């Protein structure tokens, strides 16, 4: 505040997006990127750059962090992706210590060149069994698995038909594989059908891959996977489903939307990650044949040319599967769902709108990017650690605050989060209105 009003924030810190700098011009590759840093740093100087923060402690329900300018803050943690709190589970940590003593820290090779370990081999089998698939293959990250599944199988004359809101890892994989990419309206089975009809009317010689997610985190909704798989059978296409956000955390026995829709073992390709619900890092592709697994091992670049998971990562993910399939796992999922539903109710009662259906990601609608940045600026001081999502990750004017729920959040944690968000939002709205009036005055006076 300054003289009973707010400090003036430059409009350029409240406007613009990273997309403005996606395609810089100029012959000097180093010089032409300076504009992004200038814009980013302007936001940073005014406390409007809530990204690139670092954790000071474990991803617990209450934790400490620093912003990328070094500022320290502490609060209820709704920014970490650890839905079942397995990252700090005592059994997970014990396994990690035991494997360090036995195998050391490093796998020391690709999966084709002695990088596999006894733990990674067993983990691949466990994943396949969990999903009712014939086989599964590990990747260094979930991003690498999503990218590599498409890049490994799709060739330049093939076609990729993808939900418009699919994750960037999937879009980048498609873009690297073929120019024949078609986006269908989010969750529209009918539009997907129309595209398949058009493609197959002209080309019955080349492959078609249909790509979607089992849970779209930023919208918190699920497609009709059964209908999409039926379309793929009808038009001789392959269905790939990215199950990053619901597998392990939601649905019967932690099987997510695939279990809900009775599709275990029936979807052609399932991509997943250990970084959301399994307390580890790494990713995988589950497939319906040994042939597909072996082809991906040698022709998917993010598998063939990447060092495979460390024995620690593989063993802790394996232990996470054991917990997830146990009575304790069901208790954690029940607690997580209760927290999700409780948080959504409290946010609605406080006057907020939330996206979609109950899931581990609760996105609160804010609207204008400038307003959302002002809200995010106030959250650390209000005691809430949460993430801002803005254009181009969501449509322009649809910025939101992303709250990621954990099983071990308490009722007090949920209440503190809602109170902090409400306090930050109210003050940000007041400041946003003041800044708008000040801007209008400056424009009126030339």
For residues 314-319, average pLDDT: 97
CATH number of 43-77+328-444: 3.90.1150.10
Q: How far apart are CA 152 and CA 292, in angstroms?
A: 10
pLDDT tens, residue by residue, 3-58? 456 778 899 999 999 999 999 999 999 999 999 999 999 999 999 999 999 999 99
Q: What pLDDT score was predicted for residue 3?
A: 41
List the one residue out of 170, 302, 338 whose CA is nearest residue 240: 170
At 177 the three-state DSSP class reads helix
Look at residue 444 in the predicted model and tell me its pLDDT: 76
30-34, 60-64, 311-315, 442-446: the lowest-pLDDT one:
442-446
N-to-C CA span, the chain: 26
3-state helix, strand, coil in the chain (%, to 5): 45, 15, 40
CA torsion, ordered 255, 256, 258, 262, to nearest 10 deg: 70
Average pLDDT over residues 278-304: 97
pLDDT in tens, 225-256: 999 999 999 999 999 999 999 999 999 899 99
* pLDDT, tens only, 323-341: 999 999 999 999 999 999 9
Nearest to 184 by CA among 203, 201, 207, 159: 159
Q: List the domain boundaries for the chain.
A: 43-77+328-444, 90-324
Q: How far apart are CA 389 and CA 376, in angstroms?
A: 10
pLDDT band at 386 (very low <50, low <70, confident <90, very high): very high
Mean pLDDT of 308-321: 96
CATH fold for the domain made of 90-324:
3.40.640
pLDDT in tens, 104-139: 999 999 999 999 999 999 999 999 999 999 999 999
Among 365, 342, 370, smallest CA distance to 352 is for: 365
pLDDT digit string, tens, across residues 388-446: 999 999 999 999 999 999 999 999 999 999 999 999 999 999 999 998 887 777 777 76
Distance CA 127, CA 121 (A): 10
Q: Is the pLDDT of residue 382 over 80?
A: yes
Q: Looking at residue 437, what is its pLDDT?
A: 85
Does the pLDDT value for residue 2 go beyond 60? no
- Alpha-carbon torsion angle 381, 383, 387, 389, nearest 10: -60
Write out the DSSP string of 22-70: SS--SS-TTGGGHHHHHHHHHHHHTT----S-EESS-S-SEEEEE-TT-
């Amino acid at each position: 505040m300054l003289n009973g009003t707010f400090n003036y924030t430059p409009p350029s810190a409240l406007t613009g997006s990273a997309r403005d700098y996606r395609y810089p011009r100029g012959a000097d590759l180093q010089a032409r990127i300076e504009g992004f840093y200038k814009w980013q740093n302007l936001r940073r100087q005014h406390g409007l750059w809530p990204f690139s923060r670092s954790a000071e402690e474990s991803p617990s329900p209450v934790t400490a962090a620093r912003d990328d300018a070094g500022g320290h803050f502490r609060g209820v943690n709704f920014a970490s992706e650890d839905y079942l709190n397995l990252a700090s589970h005592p059994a997970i940590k014990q396994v990690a210590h035991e494997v360090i003593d036995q195998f050391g820290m490093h796998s020391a090779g690709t999966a084709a060149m002695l990088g596999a370990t006894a733990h990674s081999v067993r983990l691949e089998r466990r994943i396949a069994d969990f999903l009712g698939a014939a086989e599964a293959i590990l990747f260094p990250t979930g991003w690498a698995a999503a990218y590599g599944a498409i890049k490994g199988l799709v060739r330049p004359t093939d076609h990729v038909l993808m939900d418009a809101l699919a994750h960037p890892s999937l879009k980048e994989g498609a873009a690297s594989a073929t120019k024949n990419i078609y986006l269908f309206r989010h969750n529209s089975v009918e539009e997907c059908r129309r595209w398949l009809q058009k493609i197959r009317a002209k080309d019955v010689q080349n492959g078609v891959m249909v790509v979607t997610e089992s849970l779209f985190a930023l919208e918190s909704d699920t497609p009709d996977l059964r209908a999409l798989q039926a379309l793929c059978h009808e038009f001789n296409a392959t269905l790939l489903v990215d199950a990053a956000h619901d597998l392990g955390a939601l649905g019967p026995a932690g099987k997510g939307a695939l279990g809900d829709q009775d599709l275990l073992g029936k979807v052609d390709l399932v991509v997943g990650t250990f970084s959301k619900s399994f307390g580890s890092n790494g990713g995988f592709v589950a497939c319906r044949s040994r042939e597909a697994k072996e082809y991906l091992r040698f022709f998917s670049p993010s598998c063939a040319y990447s060092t495979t998971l460390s024995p620690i990562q593989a063993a802790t993910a394996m232990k996470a599967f054991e917990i997830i399939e146990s009575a304790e796992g069901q208790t954690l999922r029940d607690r997580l769902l209760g927290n999700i539903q409780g948080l959504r109710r409290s946010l609605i009662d406080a006057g907020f709108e939330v996206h979609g259906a109950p899931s581990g990601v609760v996105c609160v609608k804010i609207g204008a990017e400038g307003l959302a940045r002002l809200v995010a600026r106030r959250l650390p001081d209000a005691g809430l650690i949460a993430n801002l999502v803005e254009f181009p990750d969501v449509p322009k004017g649809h910025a939101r605050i992303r709250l990621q729920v954990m099983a071990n959040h308490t009722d007090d944690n949920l209440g503190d989060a809602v109170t902090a968000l409400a306090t930050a939002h109210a003050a940000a709205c007041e400041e946003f209105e003041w800044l708008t009036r000040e801007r209008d005055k400056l424009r009126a006076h030339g």
